[in-house]
Structure 1
Amino acid sequence: MFESRGEKIFVSTITILLILLSIMALIPLLSVISTSLSSKSAVDMNLVTIWPKQFTLDSWGQMIDRVDLWKSFSLTLISTVVGTVLALLMTALLAYPLSKSEFRWGPVIMIAVVIAMIFKAPLIPYFLTVRGVGLYNNPLVLIIPHILNPFNLIIMRSFFKGFSKELEEAAFMEGSGYFRMLFQFVLPLSKAVLATLALFYGVVLWNQFQHPLLFLQDPNWFPLQIKIRQFITDDNVIMVGAASTADLNYNERTLRAVTVIFAILPIIMVYPFLQKYFVKGAMIGSVKG
């Protein structure tokens, strides 16, 4: 396809701009990685930029042996996986009937969904409500409040509205009901939207900070993000188990860098497998009503 001179200049400019923005976004990450792989003396003298100085894995060895870090990691991983599965299930169960014009209560429910998306609950009534249903200091608070998001519901509903009506009619003629239609035909053909929403829900569940900060007081139930906050704000917590000698090849800064990388690695590892579905799924809600 022929491109005019103006189009080539535009594409080149956008490409250069995106490359520069990518580099700017990568520099802080590379700096943290380099700090986690550098020696104590190099970090203390501020010699580390985007490349490790006096390479060592001592900081990683120290943090990987931390039982409390792995406990928080396990809790966050379980809540993310279970929460994402439940969220996709609940979103699909509500989005499918809302995508049907014959569902008489659909418009009313959609108005409620839009209101819930635009107007967030005030913090104090929300806190009292969550505590009133027994989720205070309960690890289920990491999952239950996140299993349905209005924006994600609208995206899935829009996808279902574009589903082949001929296929549905054929399935109904074969004796399929709505539940069988949803689970045996619709969802297996909805990989794009499921992968996109899985990423949306998973990132929120993995990175949640406000909920555990408000509702969890028992340190045994602290998820990874709260544990990282402890490591960053309290030198005594991050240095627990460290040898009491001046010959240590790590310090608080290198250990904190390890915990930051430790927390973001799972999302970075999962994203490439969902990327091929991400753009297609994310555009669904903007092109269909």
Structure 2
Amino acid sequence: MISISFGEKIFRMIVITALCVVSAIAIIPLLSVLSVSLSSKLPVELNLVTIWPREITLDSWKYMIDRADLWKSFAVTVISTGIGTFLCLLITALTAYPLSKKEFGFGKIVMVLAIITMIFKAPLIPYFLTVKGIGLYNNPLVLVIPHMLTAFNLIIMRTFFKQFPSELEEAAVVEGAGYFRVLFSLVLPLSKAVLATLGLFYAVTIWNQFQTPLLFIQNPDWFPLQIKLRQFITSDNEMPMIGDLSQLNYNTRTLRAVTIVFSITPILLVYPYLQKYFVKGALLGSVKG
């Protein structure tokens, strides 16, 4: 049994305490919004709701769940996130695999160009004109294509592939497998950790995207969930005129709280299933370049 020194015990206690404080700071606003969504309108109007709901009711949830426009935006976000995450992982793998090989002579140049994109962001106006010029203005594909490949994720996957045992690949090549066969039949099935990690990165980015649809989507039928959420929060026209209807047990504040919880719940549900891969994939992809 390994003994732990007194100094290490103190350090661990400090780290655990700091993490608990940070976790509490992060979760309290979420609990507050959830409590408002589950409370009746009177305690909400009187500002009596903190982190525990008062006079629990599901009336706000029933009203919002019956809204077809909310489900339409939810479907747009789910589809774009699912398709976008798959395509992003595919493009990243197809780009990172050759860059991880010494035989690829232009690998260092490509990586330098990729790093430059991390340091210097494209100006907004040229970016807007470029995306519009290739036909993505008011096109649902704009929710996916601009996020197809990011330099940070490319670096992580390339580094992960560089650590992959070359003996396994050489054995597959001896058996007659080509590069694509090696990648899809050998390398990727053994890369679940980094795929899960980067898949989560891409999924969260596409799910939470706001600026891109705000700039390029004008058709309400293609509004993703975040844009619809903004409408609910900032525009009174999106909410029912319920101020004088005393028989209803909800108000605009409870309805807006429902939309916030509704928009973040799917991503929160995904984290526990990917957690076992997350730390491993992030560490393995960042040990050496």
TM-score (norm 1): 0.97
- Aligned 8 A contact 1:230 1:238 in 2: no
Q: Deviation at 1:286?
A: 2.8
Query: What corresponds to 1:263 in structure 2?
Result: 263
Matched position secondary structure for 2:286: helix
Distance in 2, matches of 1:44 and 1:80, equals 36
- Give the unaligned 5+ runs of structure 1: none
Query: What corresponds to 2:25 in structure 1?
Result: 24
Matched position secondary structure for 2:35: helix
Q: Deviation at 1:238?
A: 2.1
- Aligned 8 A contact 1:31 1:51 in 2: yes
Matched position secondary structure for 2:164: coil
Query: What corresponds to 1:248 in structure 2?
Result: 248
- Aligned 8 A contact 1:92 1:156 in 2: yes
Distance in 2, matches of 1:212 and 1:169, equals 45
Distance in 2, matches of 1:189 and 1:54, equals 51
- Match for 2:183: what amino acid? L
- Aligned 8 A contact 1:142 1:205 in 2: yes
Query: What corresponds to 1:224 in structure 2?
Result: 225
Distance in 2, matches of 1:202 and 1:101, equals 31
Distance in 1, matches of 2:130 and 2:210, equals 19
Q: Deviations over 1:180-219 (max 9, x none)?
A: 0000000000000000000000000000000000001111
TM-score (norm 2): 0.97
Note if 1:172 corresponds to 2:173. yes
- Aligned 8 A contact 2:243 2:251 in 1: no
Moved more, 115-124 or 277-286: 277-286
- Match for 2:90: what amino acid? L
Distance in 2, matches of 1:136 and 1:244, equals 41
Q: How does 1:1-289 map to 2 (within 5 A)?
A: 1-239=2-240, 245-289=245-289
Q: Deviation at 1:243?
A: 10
- Give the unaligned 5+ runs of structure 2: none
- Aligned 8 A contact 1:228 1:259 in 2: yes
- Aligned 8 A contact 1:39 1:249 in 2: yes
Q: Deviation at 1:283?
A: 1.7
Distance in 2, matches of 1:284 and 1:132, equals 39
- Aligned 8 A contact 2:38 2:60 in 1: yes
Moved more, 19-28 or 270-279: 19-28
Matched position secondary structure for 1:134: coil
Moved more, 16-25 or 65-74: 16-25
Moved more, 64-73 or 24-33: 24-33
Distance in 2, matches of 1:128 and 1:83, equals 22
Q: After TM superposition, what 4+ stretches of structure 1 lie above 6 angstroms from structure 2?
A: none
* Percent identity of equivalent pairs: 67
- Aligned 8 A contact 2:88 2:147 in 1: yes
- Match for 1:165: what amino acid? S
Distance in 1, matches of 2:227 and 2:188, equals 35
Distance in 2, matches of 1:245 and 1:257, equals 19
CA-atom RMSD, angstroms? 1.2
